[in-house]
């Protein structure tokens, strides 16, 4: 018997964005920058642009523990913003590279449910 694939609603799935502006003037600053960036990658975020990272979650509830871990791992200096948009809102994003329209990153085919 074929296993039924669970489909997620585009209004329920949430993309969490982390955008940041961190100083990189001293060795300590650079170390903090690398530590935070590595943390985001280990949490499953993908880099969209320099200092802009995103990850798709099956729901807002599923994203809450990760948002708390981000808060717990904030660097000492700099600015960090964390915000969410629905998958439907994310689909409306227009991307350009060198003045040409380019494809946006796609939602993962399988989402972590925990």
Predicted pLDDT of residue 113: 47
Which domains, ranges and CATH numbers included, belong to the chain? 14-102 (3.30.70.240)
Predicted pLDDT of residue 8: 55
pLDDT tens track for 58-112 = 999 999 999 999 999 999 999 999 999 999 999 999 999 999 998 877 777 655 5
Indicate yes or no: pTM above 0.85: no
**Which H or E element spans position 30?**
helix 27-42
Q: Please provide residue 36's backbone torsions phi and psi, each rounded to the nearest 5 degrees.
A: -70, -45
pLDDT tens track for 5-32 = 445 566 689 999 999 999 999 999 999 9
What is the band of 3 on the pLDDT scale with cuts at 50, 70, 90?
low
Judged on CB neighbours under 10 Å (0-12, 13-18, 19+), 73 is middle
pLDDT higher than threshold 90 for residue 52: yes
């Amino acid at each position: 018997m074929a296993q039924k694939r669970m489909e997620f609603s585009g209004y329920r799935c949430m993309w969490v964005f982390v955008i940041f502006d961190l100083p990189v003037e001293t060795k300590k600053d650079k170390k903090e920058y690398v530590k935070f960036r590595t943390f985001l990658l280990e949490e499953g975020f993908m880099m969209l642009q320099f200092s802009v990272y995103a990850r798709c979650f099956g729901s807002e509830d599923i994203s809450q523990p990760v948002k708390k871990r981000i808060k717990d791992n904030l660097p000492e200096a700099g600015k960090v913003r964390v915000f969410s948009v629905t998958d439907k809102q994310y689909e409306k994003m227009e991307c350009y590279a060198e003045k040409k329209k380019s494809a946006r990153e796609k939602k993962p085919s399988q989402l972590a449910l925990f």
